Amino acid sequence: MKYLMTTTAAAMLCASAAWAETPVLKVYTYDSFVSDWGPGPAVEVAFEETCNCDLQFIGAGDGAALLARIKLEGQRSEADVILGLDTNLVAAAKETGLFTTHSVAAEYSLPISWEDDVFVPFDWGYFAFVHNVDMQAPANFRALAESDLKIVIQDPRSSTPGLGLLMWVKAAYGDEAPLIWTDLADNILTVTKGWSESYGLFLDGEADMVLSYTTSPAYHLIAEEDTSKAAASFDEGHYMQIELAGKLANSKEPELADQFIAFMVSDGFQSIIPTTNWMYPAVTPTAGLPDGFDTLILPQKSLLMSPEESAAVRDEALDEWLSALVQ
Amino acid sequence: MVKRAGAIGGPIVSGAVFALILAALVAVMSKANWPISFGVSDWAVVRFTIWQAILSASLSVAFAIPVARALARRQFQGRSALVTLLGAPFILPVIVAVLGILTVFGRTGWSSQLLGIFGLPPLSIYGLQGVVLAHVFFNMPLATRLILQGWQSIPTEQFRLVGQLGLPPYEVFKTLEWPLLKQVLPGALALIFVICLTSFAVALTLGGGPKSTTIELAIYQAFRFDFDLGRAAILSILQLVLAGTSAMLALWILPPIVLQSGFDRPLMRWDARGNFLRILDAIYIGVATIFLILPLSAVVVYGLIGLVKVPSTVWFAAWTSTWLAVISTGLLIIMALPVSAWLGGSKKGGAETLTLLGLAASPLMVGTGWFIIIYPLADPQYFALLVTALVNAIMALPFAVRVLVPGMRQSLVDYGRLNISLGLHGFLVWRIVLLPRIRTRLGFAAGLAAAMSVGDLGVITLFANPEWATLPLQMYRLMGSYQTTAASGAALILLVLALGLFWICDYWGRYAES
């Protein structure tokens, strides 16, 4: 047994020793970010051209599970940067005491003003239900709940879109949120752990609509020249997601981590975002947004809770959600 | 003297296993937030866990009765192959079967496409129906084997007698078969109920959200979604109480697990020669075969296609899983030999207690406990493989002991006195007397353990870090990130590994005979 422990440890040491000459920057992120079609590969190439380092993206589940992973690893984490939390998780993330401050300043093109000394935004978007254009989409949650449409959503405990949906319903309906969830329960085909599973199920024809972003149809339009997907515009307004990255206090490469976060808000990173992560860039690149983004729906009203507000309602909203869905 | 070898090692190993589980439980209790508060959704988890286990057990057994009866009274080509196939789910990795089931019964799967041709809506597999379907896939064969074994214990003479008396099928059922079923069914039901109660991988992959969450899955969620050790602890205790109570009840009526030899003797049935019954039996056997074969064929067919798309991480994971299984099997043998010698030499009852422990202690509970113990001292990720290997061995121990004890008991009865008069003791007894006689059983038990370990998707989900994984976990990740083709390739590799490891061990055991 002791032998096993030593070999395991030794194997891990060797794995990192092989790269010892070039410094390694480990960035934990969500799964779709590191996928072949996600921003990961292109960002890696772009940053490594400037940093003389080895940038490693490590997929650790969906956004909210990412935070649990960091809590689990605690002080021992090998991660230098966490990329993929959002405003709803900021309070919980700061509470861990594992993150440290940054010194990055940028001209953000976010719909709100952003000032936070720990987290830096890298992109943003509006949550929306994506559907095929040949279908009459409902105009709000009530209409959706009354319809026979089947939707796939994500678990708010593991996924940031899932948590965003919870906040969306809460922000739009307040105390009536539990009723909305009770009515929606029979429309929910399944709840997946992460966004990728949900979107995959939708593309496979398993559901009529999937919880995603107003920007998702741009992927089909630009990457696949497919105009068959649209995002349903809801008249309650759309909840906003601002995706964030933060540096861990225990990072063994703090300068490199700073360098990466500065790179993250520069053109080199931001120009990759729209057509790989299919979100609005946090800082509009000099070349502007790609053609096709102008066809996307713009919410009549945008909703967003402050990190403090969302942290305060999170547990209650989660209980309401769970209680409605187990009935 | 023989007894002494087992009498020292047996209690030590049993005590160690017990201590390992107890330590986990104590650790879990220390983290639980007292007093335990239980919400609506927690009760829903408990309700679902019990309900799906009841459904899975009843459906498996209900389906198994006619299949076992048909197998017991029909002689046909491929019968022994089919009986062997019934043993396959025991060593089939759960996640592989799930992928196969999805391919066949999923919303875009084969059966939905078939339904589509007739204008019927596709099947929906996520949720209760999917969980139960997968459980029936795994446990119907087990139930069939248990019932078949009972059926074949009815002497042929009795069937000849009722044949001579010209009793109609209903009377035969009442006089011969029903008394038998009354003996076998409760045990089969109870065993399957307990197995399904602690099911994790099936609920993880086929559960449809909060509505279909088992306690085992809820432990995982508390851990991986919220990193809420207090909640994980409470759920673990709940799991232990629930599974422990059921296992204790099940144990009274648990049928023994026997090797497959002796199964391939069909009964001569004078009462079942009618064409109608022949056709009916053929249908039952046919449906059961298709039900088992289709998902497996799907895995093989898509696996071959997917093999070229398999990323290098999968091959690395396959390597990790292989040596993990080897270590786990080694640990199992070290534990199982003294324990079974001890139990084989003592009166009886010990094997039952051990089985109880194995059934009641959920892998995730033990995993959570050990995570809590290791966490303040060291990085639990470094211990992931060790804990996984150990937990896998502990989970396989009750099966192994049940397989080994009868052989041990027999050898000790036959040779115990001779050993004493020859002055054989200690290692010599093992080498000269015991091992050669239990080798077949040992090979089979080791094969079971190796296959179960290589295919396990349980504890590892709590410990694994994002950068490496065992093969089942890597395959699950591929399914999650929607790389179905690569996942199919990984499934085939995993299938070959599980069957291969089983075959090697089993072959080693049988090789001695020839």
What are B154-163's pLDDT values in tens digits?
777 777 787 7
pTM, whole model, 2 decimals?
0.85
Task: Please tell me the least confidently modeled range out of A159-173, A284-298, B8-22.
Answer: B8-22
Higher pLDDT among residues A89 and B36, named by residue? A89
The confidence score (pLDDT) of residue A231 equals: 95
| Last residue within a domain, chosen from B299, B327, B355 | B299
Q: Which domain holds residue B479?
A: 1-31+310-514
Burial class for B400, CB neighbours closer than 10 Å (0-12, 13-18, 19+): buried
Q: Are strands A54-59 and A209-213 parallel, antiparallel or unpaired?
A: unpaired
Average pLDDT over residues B465-473: 82
Tell me which of A102-116, B242-256, B293-307, B321-335 is least confident.
B242-256
Question: Looking at per-residue confidence, does B121 or A161 come out higher?
Answer: A161
User: Which of B272, B299, B326 represents a domain boundary (last residue)?
Assistant: B299
Contact B209 A205 (CB under 8 A): no
Q: CB under 8 Å to A298, separation ≥6 — which residues?
A: A214
Pick the last residue of a domain from B299, B331, B353. B299
Contact A189 B482 (CB under 8 A): no
What are B3's two structure tokens?
């007894």
ipTM for this prediction:
0.83
Check if A188 contacts B (Cβ < 8 Å). Answer: yes
The count of structural domains within chain B is 2
Q: How wide is the angle at C-alpha A39 spanned by C-alphas A33 and A42, nearest 5°?
A: 135
Residue B304 lies in a domain: no
The answer to the question of residue B305 being in a domain is: no
My answer on whether B327 and B276 are in the same domain is: no
Examine the domain organization and report whether B407 and B314 are in the same domain: yes
For residues B279 and B422, state if they share a domain. no
Is B498 part of a structural domain of the chain? yes
Residue type, A213: Y
Q: Which residue has the higher pLDDT, B264 or A142?
A: A142
On chain A, the residues whose CB falls within 8 A of the CB of B482 are 196-197, 199-200
**Which carries the bigger pLDDT value, residue A31 or residue B98?**
B98
| B345 and B292 in a common domain | no
Mean pLDDT of all residues in chain B?
83
B224 and B370 co-located in one domain: no
**Residue B314 and residue B261 in one domain:** no
Asked whether residue B409 is assigned to any structural domain, the reply reads yes
Q: Which CATH class is domain A21-124+241-293?
A: alpha beta
User: DSSP letter at A137?
Assistant: -
B453 within domain boundaries: yes
Residues 15..74 of A with a Cβ closer than 8 Å to B: which? Answer: 28, 31-32, 35, 58-61, 64-65, 68-69, 71-73
Predicted pLDDT at B260: 43
Tell if the CB–CB gap between A319 and B39 is shorter than 8 Å: yes
Q: Is residue B36 part of a domain?
A: no
Interface check A9 vs B, CB under 8 A: yes
Q: What is residue A209's three-state secondary structure?
A: strand
What residues does A131 pair with on adjacent strands?
Answer: A209, A230
Closest CA to A236 of A162, A138, A151, A310: A138
**For position A1, what pLDDT does the model report?**
41
In chain B, pLDDT over 70 holds for what percent of residues?
89
Same domain, B272 and B335: no
**Whether residue B253 is found in the same domain as residue B314:** no
Asked if residue B343 and residue B482 are part of one domain, the reply reads yes
Three-state DSSP state, B108:
coil
Q: Name the DSSP class of A37.
A: T
Is A4 close to B386, i.e. CB distance below 8 A?
A: yes
What pLDDT does A41 receive?
Answer: 92
Whether residue B411 sits in one domain with residue B280 = no
Q: How confident is the model at residue B80 (pLDDT cuts 50, 70, 90)?
A: confident
pLDDT greater than 90 at residue B241? no
pLDDT at residue B257 greater than cutoff 50: no
What is the residue whose two structure tokens read 């947004």?
A289
Whole-angstrom CA distances from B461 to A244, B364, B373, B465 are 26, 9, 17, 9
What percentage of residues in chain A have a pLDDT greater than 90? Answer: 70
Chain B positions contacting chain A at CB under 8 Å are: 39-41, 44-45, 48, 107-108, 124, 126-127, 208-211, 221, 223-227, 327, 379, 381-386, 389, 465-467, 477, 480-482
Q: How much is the average pLDDT of A99-106?
A: 91
Region B237-254: what's the mean pLDDT? 79
Give the pLDDT confidence score for residue A129 in this predicted structure.
Answer: 97
Q: What is the CATH number of the domain that holds B178?
A: 1.10.3720.10
Domain locations in chain A as residue ranges: 21-124+241-293, 125-240+299-326
Please indicate whether residue B292 or residue B10 has the higher confidence score (pLDDT).
B292
The predicted pLDDT at position B228 comes to 82
pLDDT of residue B300: 93
Per-residue pLDDT, B121: 80
pLDDT at B270 over 50: yes
Mean pLDDT of A62-84: 88
Same domain for B316 and B279: no
Question: Would you say residue B242 lies in a domain?
Answer: yes
Residues B112 and B10 in one domain: no
Q: Strand A81-86 and strand A99-100: pairing? A: unpaired
Give me the CATH topology for the region A125-240+299-326: D-Maltodextrin-Binding Protein; domain 2 (3.40.190)
**What is the average pLDDT across B306-318?**
90
Q: Which residues of A touch B227 (CB under 8 A)?
A: 68-69, 71-72
